[in-house]
Structure 1
């Protein structure tokens, strides 16, 4: 009798678990479209594309919304989006493929292929290996140097040269810090080892063999594509189309544009040890190499109460979520954010592409999909992230209004406006020039390596100016001038944290 009772309890428990999984699975089949369409409205996203791969099959592949605000052209599965830092997994995989082919080792020193490579810490520059570039452990802060490199006119060898001028914040290999210029440097090892440019190698060895025929390696090609989205952001609370970022100087770190149709092939290959059908496109050893834990990012605390680890492999974040190992990355460039997620044990892949940089749907949707497949309680990530975002936006708008109100008071600067004009210099960035604006006490700043961008400076009293960049990606800020004995000696420049978190101090050139 006891055995029968135990058997009935086990059957009942199994039925409850299976019923929960069935109910959660209905989220994918019955509720996902309405979830996404509502989220596009809530987050003010013009267009998105989503793909779910499970057990070697495409469960969902669909475009939502429109390519450009104000135009009726709808997003489809072949519409291109910039994928930003999801490019990094392609770069790391390419180098791991070259290791599998014995054309290099990921433990080789960088100087073996790029003799001119240097770091401010000379010993670290000599000791740095390819893995150090691919897992962000050179000693820099996250996004350090990106104001100089992002959307600038610097070409690749100039960025590598300037990387050598950056002052590392931490000792070599002690602290994780996300470094885009390091990934550019890693990508430049590809032509040194193969004789082919990074973008050519990717097309010939990854894109074409996988059938990713619409995918573009360079941002310069995106405006020429027929089926493409347009980037958007919020400017003074209004959703606005903006120019494409030009990132080919940093291409191996973030230049690829792709569609969910093409990305589904990439994800399916990664979940099947590099195979498409019976064809081995990517060596299994190369995929395994990119998923080896390399550096600790930190502890992960999820809103549902779960905790875990966050580690960086090579071009991938590695997470522990509800007992599952997740391989994932996100990508953000001007007007776009995206995510790519793999749960190898579940043979589950998720791709989310959006054409505005002011949303978190790329993050919340993937977590709600993961919970659905793992049979977890529905935590409604999207609702909670949206509420937090709206509160943050309200605070930012209040600060912005306070700044605008201050500038309307027409407060006079401490010194004559002409004393702030002139040329300024920063050892890493280079030159900045400040001239009189069109009226009153306005100033205008021009930047050597961002020739298409300028910034307007309005006085806030004293030696502080409220600043608005012509490229909204760089945001708004307050620039203080440094003054000694009645003479301007420098200026502190700050751009949006989306680009770089720390300010730059420029010295005035007499």
Structure 2
């Protein structure tokens, strides 16, 4: 017996050793190398190289592993005029990276209420609230808002109108018509995150800014983070946003960001590399919020869960084979986050661009790694940011980077023409007085056309001001920006009534697929009442439909019991 048991014992030992070797191999494959001075030096060199060829003035960068911020620093300049350097404590606009904060806050508030992400919008805002059609009014949920599933075009420039508060946005959202299928399309829409901001305020009973401070910034010790529409814009620690016109850099007024950010959740946060490192630790399930004070692990995972499929853009297709030796995809949208893969590893990310500010946050959750960059400048197609993140990820993953200081600039070079200061050929002005007046649109508000020294000036809210130049083609003009918004209007068309009087104007730039029509002397009080949309018992969400289904189930259950 003893002699016969030896092979069995030997086999068990062999299996144990084999299993141990497998575990060691797996551990070696999934444990990133230590963050050495050499790795940091390589990141420094690559970041500085990226700036030289991707139209970037300054970079704010954080690198995170688990519950540790490995580095938080800056490159380039925060202010070209003074030579002030960008540092880890410089405030930079993070643009649409704000959306993840908005989604996290709203998810937190919902978890403490009787509602959920699948509650209908009108269950929170009341039955007086409507979208442009009854299907969306009856069925649209908070998850639909956060995942861009409503099929309503961006209409982003409507944010320039005077008096657009979050409450008013909720009342006029019905005038923005849907152009794509409900829940079967992905149409990115900043206005819907403004609406989500208002929902948070209704649920939390306080301003969105105060709620973020209480529920996210303070628990995560993000002591420097603030908002473009709240901060003292004269602070020296705010990086100046820049855009390039031809070969010249021009600063963008911070007043533009102040007014542009008033809707909150779409893109209004100013933060530092140091604070964003803490935010990324939290998103990885690590850091100061290990107790779940900000959000439970299940709820955090819910914000990361894919909801919508994102059609692949021409730009995104360039970041996979055959154009790119490794795959970098972002084909799904969660709640304030995109989902994809890098080198086969699941990836959570979001981009952002807003008038001279830009951002990119990337998480590899299975490896416990994350990278943030905020930039000032242009960086067309997010290419510089993406390449910097891929290079940094390779170093942290312990693989040989496929990028180097040459391919940092040669891979997908920036071939798009830079905007230039617009100069138009001056043509004879049709009778200017014909066009002068106030024009209104129920969704976009009012704009005015005035005559100033024999030229026409178009004004739209506090931000938009253009000098109109006739094209020589009837009532068509071009608009050269002379206000806070550096936006050229290639075409502005005036329309006449049957008697030949100018009655309307259209600006295709505001929505190319369906340009808004502004009508002369149209008043807000002329708006039609909301379309009546009684709740459909079969509609999703809470309320009467769910109660009806419950009553039906109870009825059939009682019949079954009696007949049985």
Give the root-mean-square deviation of aligned CA atoms.
3.3
**Quick one: which of 147, 150, 157 aligns to 1:138?**
150
Following the alignment from structure 1 to structure 2, what is the Cα–Cα distance between the partners of residues 451 and 273? 42
- 1:91-240 equivalence runs, <5 A: 91-102=102-113, 104-115=115-126, 116-141=128-153, 144-150=154-160, 153-217=163-227, 219-223=229-233, 225-240=235-250
CA contact (8 A) 1:218 1:251 kept: no
8 Å Cα contact 2:103-2:335 kept in structure 1: yes
What displacement does 1:381 show? 10
Counterpart for residue 68 of structure 1: 79
Q: By how many angstroms is 1:354 displaced?
A: 1.0
Matched position secondary structure for 1:52: strand
SS in 2 for 1:342: strand
Match of residue 434 from structure 2: 419
The answer to whether the 8 A contact 1:104-1:193 is kept is: no
Shift of 1:366: 1.6
CA change 1:366–1:27 in 2 (3 A) is: farther
1:45 and 1:356 in contact (8 A); partners too: yes
| 2:151 match: secondary structure | coil
Q: 1:365–1:382: 8 Å Cα contact kept in structure 2?
A: no
Checking the alignment, whether the CA contact within 8 Å between 2:95 and 2:354 is kept in structure 1 is: yes
Structure 1 CA distance, aligned partners of 2:484 and 2:227? 23
What is the aligned partner in structure 2 of residue 340 from structure 1? 361
> 1:130 Cα deviation (Å)?
1.1
Shift of 1:288: 0.6
Distance 1:71 1:476, change over 3 A: farther
Unaligned runs of 5+ in 2: 1-20, 322-326, 523-564
2:415 alignment partner in structure 1 = 391
Give the match's secondary structure for 1:240. strand
DSSP 3-state at the match of 1:76: coil
Give the deviation of 1:320 after TM superposition.
2.5
* CA shift digits 1:337-386 (9 cap, x unpaired): 01111110011110001122455333332233234444265146995777
Q: Relative to 1, partners in 2 of residues 1:119 and 1:386: Cα closer, same or farther, differing over 3 Å?
A: farther
Unaligned runs of 5+ in 1: 1-9
Q: Which secondary structure does the structure 2 equivalent of 1:46 belong to?
A: strand
* Cα contact 2:46–2:408 (8 A) shared by 1: no
Q: Check 1:384–1:181 CA distance in 2 against 1; reply closer, same or farther (3 A cut).
A: same
What is the deviation of 1:322? 2.5
TM-score, normalization: structure 1? 0.84
For residues 10-65 of structure 1, give each alpha carbon's deviation from its aligned partner in whole angstroms, at most 9, with x where no partner exists: 9xxx9xx99xx98x999833322122223323334332211111233222221112
Partner of 1:488: 502
Could you say if the C-alpha distance between residues 204 and 280 of structure 1 is closer, same or farther in structure 2, counting changes exceeding 3 Å?
closer
TM-score by length of structure 2 reads 0.76
- Displaced runs of 4 or more, over 6 A: 24-27, 384-387
Tell me, in whole angstroms, the C-alpha distance in 2 between the residues paired with 1:231 and 1:96. 31
Residue 103 of structure 2 aligns to a residue in which SS? helix
1:483 CA displacement:
4.6
Most deviating of 475-484 and 420-429:
475-484
CA distance in 2 between counterparts of 1:53 and 1:502 reads: 44
Quick one: structure 1 residues 454 and 219, their matched pair in 2 at CA, closer, same or farther if it must change by over 3 Å?
same
Distance 1:242 1:309, change over 3 A: closer
User: Does the 8 Å contact 1:51/1:260 carry over to 2?
Assistant: yes
Structure 1 residue 212, shift from structure 2 partner:
0.2
Q: CA deviation at 1:457?
A: 0.9
Matches within 5 A, 1:456-467: 456-463=467-474, 464-467=476-479
The range that moved more, 73-82 or 372-381, is 372-381
User: In the comparison of the two structures, how many residue pairs are matched?
Assistant: 479
Alignment of 1:431-446 (within 5 A): 431-439=446-454, 442-446=455-459
Query: Would you say the 8 A contact 1:100–1:283 is kept in 2?
Result: no
In structure 2, relative to structure 1, the CA distance for the partners of 1:445 and 1:88 (3 Å cut) is same
Cα distance in 2, alignment partners of residues 328 and 381 from structure 1 = 24
Cα distance in 1 for partners of 2:109, 2:148 equals 20
Inter-CA distance 40–389: structure 2 relative to 1 (3 Å threshold): same
Answer with 110-119 or 84-93: which moved more: 110-119
Tell me which of 390, 397, 407 is aligned to 1:367. 390
The yes-or-no answer on 1:283 pairing with 2:302 is no
8 Å contact 2:93–2:228 — kept in the other structure?
A: no
Contact 2:93 2:270 in 1 (8 A): yes
Does the Cα contact within 8 Å between 1:160 and 1:181 map onto a contact in 2? no
| Counterparts in 2 of 1:377 and 1:354: CA distance versus 1, 3 Å | closer
Change (3 A) 1:151 1:45: farther
